[in-house]
Amino acid sequence: MWMIVSLVEALWPPSRFLSMSEAVMHFESFVRPQADLRIEADNLDMFNNNFPYRRTGKGLRVIFPEVLRPYVTKDLLVESLEDGVPLQAVLGKDARASRDCKAAPPPTPVEELREEVGGLCMDAFLKMLFADNFIHADLHPGNIHFHRRRVGGDTGPVQSELVIFDAGLAVQMSPKDRRNFVDVFYALTTNDGKRAAQLMVERTPGDRSLVRDEDEFVASVGQLVNEVCGMGFALGKVRLGECFGRMLTLACDHRVKLETSFVTVATSIIVLEGVGRQLNPIADLAAAARPLLAEAVANVWRSS
């Protein structure tokens, strides 16, 4: 990849504005650590600390494999055996997009299971993003399993528990990057697209003088967010992935460089949206994020 990028930039100098070299560098910085299983072991320890349900029975019903130390080396990682059903078992496109229609029939057990598991996925991701600042950056369906278990004795309710694997890729934003992301996300959830675009330009890690038509970029993002937020942030109705994808495309077109962590988290949201749409939870992402987002905004402002 380094050879290809060097060749392209040498033969076509304008391609340097695409920041391909930086993209390869960032990609390398994420991929190479995944070959060191000691890093994944540390990530698993952190996730188990942030999600203590296995030990305490409290909090979100989310479980990560436990690291069996001292059986950890650069090339070896021994984890606890976790049983679960792959998320693909309940994914499907036949779930109803909404239950608001009074004529709709009662939900089936599979639909209820999709909603329950989808809600757990959303809550777990939002906790990682806003409460913990430690995000599993590879939450595709293959890394998410679940199982059903009766809690509170033989007569207790049966509940789903998530089991999340493959913690080799995790993101922890620096205080500066975290504030930037929280401010932009807050602007988006308050339907202030122009403010979000202005923040992206003002806090770009690149040379702001190289931004192409800043006013048009701000106006375009504002229009995009108005279109999306006009329908609310329900995962089953709004394509947040499309929104973030178009924002990234606009940033590229106008040569607005973005922080690596912002792009990585945006990509994680795109993946989560894909999972959520297939599970079809009747949930509002903005409403679900609001309490954690408000606390995150207060924290970053207090620390500034």
Domain ranges of the chain: 2-33, 34-171, 175-303
Model confidence over 29-72: pLDDT tens digits?
A: 777 878 899 999 999 999 999 999 999 989 999 999 999 999 99
Highest mean pLDDT among 204-218, 235-249, 273-287: 204-218
Greatest alpha-carbon span in the chain: 71
The beta-carbon contacts of 274-278 under 8 Å, at least 24 apart in sequence, are: 274/241, 275/87, 275/91, 275/118, 275/121, 275/139, 275/140, 275/141, 275/144, 276/118, 276/121, 276/122, 276/235, 276/236, 277/235, 277/236, 277/239, 278/91, 278/92, 278/93, 278/95, 278/141
Mean pLDDT of 11-23: 76
> Residue 70: what are its φ and ψ, rounded to 5°?
-95, 25
Residue 239 has pLDDT above 60, yes or no: yes
Note the pLDDT of residue 213.
93
**Tokens 């910085």 found at:** 29
- Confidence grade of residue 238 (pLDDT, cut at 50, 70, 90): low
Note the pLDDT of residue 39.
93
Strand partners, 86: 145
Residue 97 has pLDDT above 50, yes or no: no
Residue 139 has pLDDT above 80, yes or no: yes
Least confident of 120-124, 149-153, 203-207, 218-222: 149-153
Least confident of 157-161, 208-212, 285-289: 285-289
- Confidence grade of residue 104 (pLDDT, cut at 50, 70, 90): very low
Residue 138 has pLDDT above 70, yes or no: yes
Least confident of 14-18, 61-65, 181-185, 194-198: 14-18
Residue 240 has pLDDT above 70, yes or no: no
Model confidence over 189-234: pLDDT tens digits?
A: 788 889 999 999 998 887 888 899 999 999 999 998 887 765 555 5
Whole-number percent of the chain with pLDDT over 70: 85
Q: What is the mean pLDDT of the chain?
A: 83
Axis-axis angle for helices 20-34, 37-50 (nearest 10): 80
- This prediction's pTM: 0.80
Note the pLDDT of residue 233.
52
